[in-house]
Structure 1
Amino acid sequence: MTDKMVLRTQQWLNQTYGGDSRFNKVAEDGQTGWSTIYGLTRALQIELGIQNTADNFGPSTQRLFVQRYPNGVQEQKSGDTATSNVYSIIQGALWCKGYSAGSDEITQHFYGGTGKAIKNLKTDMGIGGDSSVDVDIMGALLSMKQFVLLESYGGLNAIRQAQQQINGNYRDYTGIIPTDGLYGREMNTALIQVLQAIEGFTPSEATGNFGSGTKSRLKTISASNGTGDKPQWVWLATVALVCNRIAAVIRTSWYTGLSDQVTDFQRQYGLPQNGTVDPTTWMSLLTSKGDPNRPCVACDTRFEITDARLATLKANGYQIVGRYLTEPGQSSLAPADYFKAIRPGELERITKGGMKFFPIFQEYSTKLAHFTPANGAAHAKSAREAAQRLGIPPTHIYFAVDFDATDDQVTSNILPYFRAVLANLGGGYKVGIYASRNICTRVIEAGYAGYAFVSDMSTGFSGNLGFPIPDNWVYDQFTEISGYQGQGWDLDRVAYSGKMPAVSYVKQTSAGGTTIDQGTNYDQMGPIDLIWHLEKRFDELRAQGKVGQDYVASGTTGTWVTVPTWRCMLNYLSKDYLRDGGNGSTIEWSVSAESFRKADAAILEQDATASAIIKSLDRYIGSWRQSMIDVNGESVDL
C-alpha cells in the first residue's frame, strides 16, 4: 500500500541528491524499505561531508554526527527561520516509521510537529525525554527497527515492556533496541548484555557473547533467595521465561508459581528439574545451545562406531548414537573409505554392544538450491533403500537442513522439499527433521515431519535466536567436541527427550543387494524385504525359463510374451483375491483386475527358496493375514 508521505520522502531524496554521484536514487513507490532507509543514510552522510558514502550508519557517520551536533539536533524556536536538509532527513525517517511530522510536505524546518513526533518515538522506545535527536536516536531512525507492538507478527506486550525497560535502564550497554514485542536476534543479544551489566561488567566488556567469564558470575535464584538484593536477577529470569513462552508476566521478586514455571521450562528443554534458576538453566534461557557441559545420554558423529569407540561411549554414559545413512558418491567407494556413511556390520555392533542408534540423512543440504521437490523425492528413495539395506526397522529418519534458512525460504523451498520426502519415503519409515528451531517447528506444524533433531549448537542461526524449542523434539544437538578424549575422532553431544525411542535392534536383510542370501532367516523380515527377496528369486527362476512368460495364441500359431517381474509380483501378492476369492468371488476379482498366474504360482510354491520366503510373506498376503503399518502409522492390507 502506497504511503503519501513516504512517497514525498522518496521524491524529495531524488530531487535533492539525485545528481550527486555519492547518492543512489530510490524507487518512488511510497513503500518503506531498505532502499529508502539507505537513501536517507547516504543523504545524511553527504550533509556531513562524507565523500565515500555507504548504506550503513557506521562509526565514521556517528563520529561526524556527534562533532556537528554534540548535544543532538535541537528543535527550532518558533521564530527561527534557519533551514537544513538534516531536518528534512529526520522528517522523512519519521514518516517511514509511521510518525507524523505535522506537515503534508517534507520541510527544512524542525518545529513543534517534528518535535512532537520525536517525543512520541522516544516514549515508544521507553526512554522518554525532550525532542532532541542524538546519535542513538538518529541511528534508530536510519534503521528498520520498529518501536510499536507488532502484534500481527506475534509480538507480545510483556516482551515490549521488557524492551522498553532495557532501553530505559541499560541503553549504555545495549544501545536502543526495537520495542516491537518480538524476541529476535537483537533482543537475545540485549538480554545477555543486561546479564553482563547485572554481573558487574562495564559497557565495553558487555559484548553479548555468553562466554566463560559470563558463566562464572552467574547466580542461582530460587524461592528462598529471589527477593531482597536480587530484583534484577529475578526480573531478567522472568523476562527470559516470557521470551521462551513459559511465563506471561515480568516481576522483580519471586512469586507463587514461578518455581513451577521454571520446572516447566526445565522439563521442556530436558534439564534437571529443580525449580531454581541455576547456571545450567540460565544458559538454556539465554542461548540455544545452553550449558555445553550438562549431562546427556545421546550423541552423533560421522565416525564409524568401532568396538573401541563403543566402549568409550558406554564408559562415558552415552546410550544412543546418531549415524548417517549415506553420503554422496558412496556407490563408488569401498566401505573402508566412507567419510560418514554407516559401514557394514556397524549397526549390529552398536545394538549387540548395548547401545541404540538413530538414522540421519544428510546429502546436499547446505544451500537453498538443494531443497526442491525433485531432490526431496530422490532423497526419500535413497534414505529408504539405505535403511532397508542396513536392516533398520521402521523408525523416524532425520532429514537435514544444514543452513540458516529464513522464514520466507522455509515457505518457498523447505516445505515443498519435505512434502516430497513424506510422499516418497515409504517402507514403514517416518520423516524426522534436523534443522534450527524455527524450521523444525514449521515443518512439523505443516504435517511433513513428526519429530525433530534440533541443531541448537548453531547459536548464530536466526532460526534458533528468539524461537522456543519445538514441542516434538527428540534430539537436541548442543555442542561439538573435536578430538574426543584425544582419540582423533569428533563427537556432537546431544540431549534426548525420550519422546521417541531410539532403534535397539537390526533386522536381518540383504534387500538392495545383487544375490539371494540362502542362509537368510525370513521369519525376522518385514514385508518389504520379503517382497524384494521373492522378486530376486523370481528373476533367477525366469533366467531358467520357468516363469514370467505368457503364450499368446494367434490362429493356428502363437508367440511367447515376457511379462515384467513387477506385474507378476503384484499378481502373486493378490493371490487371496485372484485365486482364492478374498471376501468375494474369484471370478469378479479376475474380471476387474486380471487372471491369476497359476503356472507361475505353482513354480514359486514348489521351489525351496521361494516357498521359504512365501511361508513368511503369507502372514501379510494369506487368508488370515495381519495388517501392515503404512507411513502414516495406519493399518493397511498390503
Structure 2
Amino acid sequence: MADEMVLRAQRFINLTYMDGATLGIPKLEENGRTGWVVMYALTRALQYELGITALSNSFGPTTLSTIQTKYGEIDDTRLPSPNFAKIIQSALYCKGYDGGDIDGTYNSRVHNAVLKLKDDMGLGETYPNSSLQPKVIKGLFNMDAYVTVNYGLDKIRAIQRWLNSRYIHRKDFYVIPCDGHHSRDVAKSMLFAIQYELGMADGVANGAFGPGTQAGLKARTVSVGSSGVWVQLFTAAMVLNGRMAPFTDVFDAGFEATVRSFQNFSQVTQTGAGDFPTWASLLVSYGDQTRAGTACDGVTKITPARAAALKAAGYETIGRYLYNASTTSLPEKEIQPGELETIRAAGLRCFPIYQTWARSVDYYSPAQGVTDCRMAVHKAQEHGFKTRSRIYFAVDYDAMDDEVTSYILPYFQSLRREMDRLGDPYDIGVYGPRNVCSRVSGKGYSDASFVSDMSSGFSGNLGYPLPADWAFDQIVTKTIGSGDGRIEIDNNLASRRDRGQSDFHPTGGERLDVAFDPAHLALMGMEVENYMAEIGKPGGVGRVYTVRECFDEIMRYDDTITAAARTFRMRKALIQTSAFWERCHYSLKDQVEDAGVIEYHTGIVPDWAKDLPGVEKFVDSSTGIAKISGRTGILSRNWAILAGMLQGDLLGHLRAEDRWAMWQRLYGDPVFNLTTVAYLHMWGADGKPGDVAEPPMRLPALDYTLDETRTILRRYQGTPDSVAVEHAQLRMPLYAIFERYNALIRNR
C-alpha cells in the first residue's frame, strides 16, 4: 500500500539529486513503498551531505565516524544542511514515524519522532534527549523494525531492547532490531554481550564463539539460586531458542525444569544447570563439539576395518550417499558394492543421502525436484534400501530466506509430489541449515531434518533454533581409527527420530526393472492388441474402453508401476498384467455399481450416471484402473502396514465408512490404485490373511517361476474354484509380452 510521505521522500531524492545521478544510482520508482532501494538512496544522500566522496549503500564505519567527528549528535542546532534534515525526515517516514513535513527543519514533530524511535529501540533512558546519536542514525537507515511485526513476541522484543540499552556504549555494538524475532544480528549481539560481561575490551570482543569466550563460559555456570546479569543472559538465550521460559535475573526451580527439557531436546547431559554444554547449544549452532555422537556421515567406503573402528567409537548409524555425479572426485562417495552388507554385518545401520551438486540457488527448481526424486528412488532401490527408508535430500549452501521461499520450497514441493506419484516408496528428509530444514518440514514436504550445524556462520543457522523434527545434527569433522580402520567422518548427534536401516535387499543377480523406452511402445502395444483379439477378450458388449485405450493408460503410469516393482522386488509385468486385464474388463455394469456406491454413501447419484439404467445402492465395488474394492484395498494395505512396508492407520474392512474412504481413493487416484496392485499381490502370496485363506507362498520376487506367476495372477482375481483359474492361464501369454519388452530394456 502506497504511503504519501514515502512517495514525497522518493520525489525529494529524485528532484534534489538529479534523478539519482549525483548519488550514482538509478532514479527511484515513485510508488510510495519503502524498501532497501529507498534506504540505500537515503544513505547515499546522507553521505553526500556529509561531504563523503566515495558513496556506498552501506552505512559503514566512515559514515558513522564522520558524523561523530564533525557533529557528535544531530539536532536543531547541529544540522549539516537543510537537505540533511530532509533526509532524516524521509528516513523517519520510511520507518513509520512522523517526521513532519519534509521541509528541512528539525521541528517539534521530528523531536517527538526521535524520542519515540529511541524509546522503541530501548534507548529512551540511555539517550533521554531528542538528539540523534550516531548509532541511532545508523539504526534509522536500514529496514530493521523497532516494534513487533509479523507476530513477533513481546518477550523477545524485551530482550532486544535490554541488549540495546545495556551495551550501546560499547564500540562494536550497534542498535539491533526490536521486532520480537530472533535473527542473525540478535544472535551475534548475544555473543558480544557475553564477551563484554566476561570483561573483554573493545576491539577484543568480536561476536565470535572463540576459545576465550568458551573458557569464560566454562566458569559461568548458573543454576537454582543464581541471580544477576548472567541469569538474564542465560534466560534470554533460552527464550531466543524457542523455549517457554521467563526473561528474568533469577534462576528458580521452575526454570530448572525448562532447562532440563532443552538439554534433553538438544542431546546435552541433563544437569538442569546453565553449564558450558548448554550455553554452547544456545549460542552457536554446533554447540559443544566435544559431545560424542552416535551417528556420522562421510564420503568414504565403509570397509570391515572401518566398520569395526566406528563401532568401537560408539557409532550406531552411518549416513552414506546414494549417488556421485562426478566421475573423477571422491571415488568412494557413492555406496560401493557390498558396503551395506558390511555395515549390516558389523551391527551398524545406514541412512541414505542424495546430493548431486546442490551448492547454489540456481540448482533448485520444480523440474530438478522431479529429476532428483526419480534418480534418488532409482538409486535407493538399486542399492537395496527397503521401502520406508528415509532419503535426505541436500541443500548444501547458505540459502537466504528469500531463496528458500522462491526456490527451495518449490523444489521440495515438486519432489514430494513426484514421490507420491511413484507410490510413496521412501520417506523424505531434508539436509541443510536450520532455517531450510524448519521451513521445508513446516510445509509438510519432509518429516525429518539432518541439520548442517557445523556451518555456524550460515545465515540459515545463526539466529534459528534447532528444528523440532531433527534426526541428525552435524557438529564437527573428526578422524577415528588407525591403520586400515582410519576414517574421516562428520560427527552427528542423533535424536532417535530416524535410526537408519539395518536390513537391505540383496544386490546383484537378477536386475530390477527400469523405466520403459517409448521407442518400443508401438510394437508392444500392437502385440498386446493382437493377443487380446486372438483370445476374444474381453469380448461381449458394454465395455467402456478399447484394448488400445487400456494399454495406453497403463503405460502412461509406467513411472508409478516401475517404482512399485523396484521397491518390492517384483517384476513390473506382474502389475502391468493385472491392471491391464482388469481395465479391459471394466464394463457398463461396473459403472452402474460405482454409481451405486456413491449413492449408498452420499445419497446422490453422480451426474455422469444419471442416464445409466439400474443404478442401485452398493456398499462397495471393484473400482478404478485395476478394479480394486474398498474391502480388498483395506485388507492388502493393512497387511503392508503390519509388515512395515507402509505407513498409515489400520482400517476396518467390515466398516462401511472405512470402505468408503478407501474406495474413494481407489476410484479417483490411479497412482494409489496401481500401487495397491503391488500390495494385493504380496497379500495374496501370504495367503490373503483376513479373507478366504490360501496356503502362503513366496512373496513376489525377481526370479518368480511361471507357476508362481500364474498362481499370483489367479489369486488377484479369485479363488481356485472360480473363473480366475481360466483367466490366469489366459493372462500368462500377456504377462510374457510385457516381461519380454521389460527384460529387453533392463538388460541392454
TM over 0.5, yes or no? yes
Instruction: Give the deviation of 1:410 after TM superposition.
Output: 2.4
Q: Would the alpha carbon gap of residues 192 and 315 (structure 1) be closer, same or farther in structure 2, given more than 3 Å must change?
A: same
Pick from 351, 361, 369: which aligns with 1:358?
A: 351
**What's 1:635 paired with?**
none
Residue 418 (structure 2) pairs with residue 393 (structure 1): no
Query: Kindly, what percent of the aligned residue pairs are identical?
Result: 34
The separation in 1 between residues aligned to 2:492 and 2:199, in whole angstroms, is 33
CA contact (8 A) 2:6 2:93 kept: yes
**What's 1:496 paired with?**
494
Q: Would the alpha carbon gap of residues 350 and 56 (structure 1) be closer, same or farther in structure 2, given more than 3 Å must change?
A: same
Instruction: Give the deviation of 1:383 after TM superposition.
Output: 1.1
Superposed, 1:266-345 pairs within 5 Å as: 266-328=263-325, 338-345=331-338
Q: SS in structure 2 opposite 1:431?
A: strand
The separation in 2 between residues aligned to 1:353 and 1:56, in whole angstroms, is 56
Q: SS in structure 2 opposite 1:292?
A: coil
Instruction: Give the deviation of 1:257 after TM superposition.
Output: 1.1
Structure with more of its chain in helix, by fraction: 2
Q: SS in structure 2 opposite 1:267?
A: helix
Pick from 116, 119, 125: which aligns with 1:120?
A: 116
**What's 2:339 paired with?**
346
Pick from 164, 168, 176: which aligns with 2:161?
A: 164
Q: Would the alpha carbon gap of residues 609 and 139 (structure 1) be closer, same or farther in structure 2, given more than 3 Å must change?
A: closer
Residue 39 (structure 2) pairs with residue 40 (structure 1): no
Q: SS in structure 1 opposite 2:705?
A: helix
The separation in 1 between residues aligned to 2:626 and 2:82, in whole angstroms, is 89
The separation in 1 between residues aligned to 2:222 and 2:139, in whole angstroms, is 37
Deviation string for 1:99-143 (max 9, x for gaps)?
Answer: 112x3x312221222112111111111111111112111211122
RMSD: 3.8
Instruction: Give the deviation of 1:428 after TM superposition.
Output: 2.5
Instruction: Give the deviation of 1:618 after TM superposition.
Output: 7.7
**What's 1:558 paired with?**
none
The separation in 2 between residues aligned to 1:580 and 1:14, in whole angstroms, is 74
Residue 87 (structure 2) pairs with residue 92 (structure 1): no
CA contact (8 A) 2:320 2:350 kept: yes
Unmatched 5+ stretches in structure 2: 536-547, 559-571, 594-620, 628-699, 720-748
**What's 2:134 paired with?**
135
CA contact (8 A) 2:471 2:495 kept: yes
Superposed, 1:177-256 pairs within 5 Å as: 177-218=176-217, 219-227=219-227, 231-256=228-253
| Letter matched to residue 410 of structure 1 | V
**What's 2:538 paired with?**
none
Deviation string for 1:491-525 (max 9, x for gaps)?
Answer: 11111001232211222244xxxx737xxxxxxxx
CA contact (8 A) 1:84 1:109 kept: yes
CA contact (8 A) 1:23 1:39 kept: no
Pick from 462, 466, 487: which aligns with 1:465?
A: 462
Instruction: Give the deviation of 1:225 after TM superposition.
Output: 4.7
Q: SS in structure 2 opposite 1:464?
A: coil
The separation in 2 between residues aligned to 1:578 and 1:69, in whole angstroms, is 85
Instruction: Give the deviation of 1:160 after TM superposition.
Output: 0.7
Q: Would the alpha carbon gap of residues 28 and 613 (structure 1) be closer, same or farther in structure 2, given more than 3 Å must change?
A: same
| Letter matched to residue 144 of structure 2 | K
Unmatched 5+ stretches in structure 1: 518-528, 555-560, 596-604, 625-638
Q: SS in structure 2 opposite 1:397?
A: strand
CA contact (8 A) 1:574 1:621 kept: no
Residue 449 (structure 2) pairs with residue 452 (structure 1): yes
Instruction: Give the deviation of 1:301 after TM superposition.
Output: 0.3
CA contact (8 A) 2:286 2:456 kept: yes
The separation in 1 between residues aligned to 2:711 and 2:17, in whole angstroms, is 82
**What's 1:59 paired with?**
61
4+ runs deviating over 6 angstroms: 482-488, 546-549, 563-567, 575-581, 588-595, 615-620
TM-score by length of 1: 0.80
Q: SS in structure 2 opposite 1:432?
A: strand
TM-score by length of 2: 0.69
Q: Would the alpha carbon gap of residues 617 and 244 (structure 1) be closer, same or farther in structure 2, given more than 3 Å must change?
A: farther
The separation in 1 between residues aligned to 2:715 and 2:76, in whole angstroms, is 84
Which stretch has the larger CA shift, 276-285 or 470-479? 470-479
Pick from 504, 507, 521: which aligns with 1:506?
A: 504
CA contact (8 A) 1:76 1:109 kept: no
The separation in 1 between residues aligned to 2:202 and 2:248, in whole angstroms, is 24
Q: Would the alpha carbon gap of residues 41 and 488 (structure 1) be closer, same or farther in structure 2, given more than 3 Å must change?
A: farther
The separation in 2 between residues aligned to 1:354 and 1:470, in whole angstroms, is 29
The separation in 1 between residues aligned to 2:261 and 2:711, in whole angstroms, is 48
Instruction: Give the deviation of 1:97 after TM superposition.
Output: 0.8
Deviation string for 1:311-370 (max 9, x for gaps)?
Answer: 22122111111000011156xx8xx97341000000110110121111000113122222
Deviation string for 1:203-245 (max 9, x for gaps)?
Answer: 3211111011111111353444513xxx111111111111112
The separation in 1 between residues aligned to 2:626 and 2:122, in whole angstroms, is 78
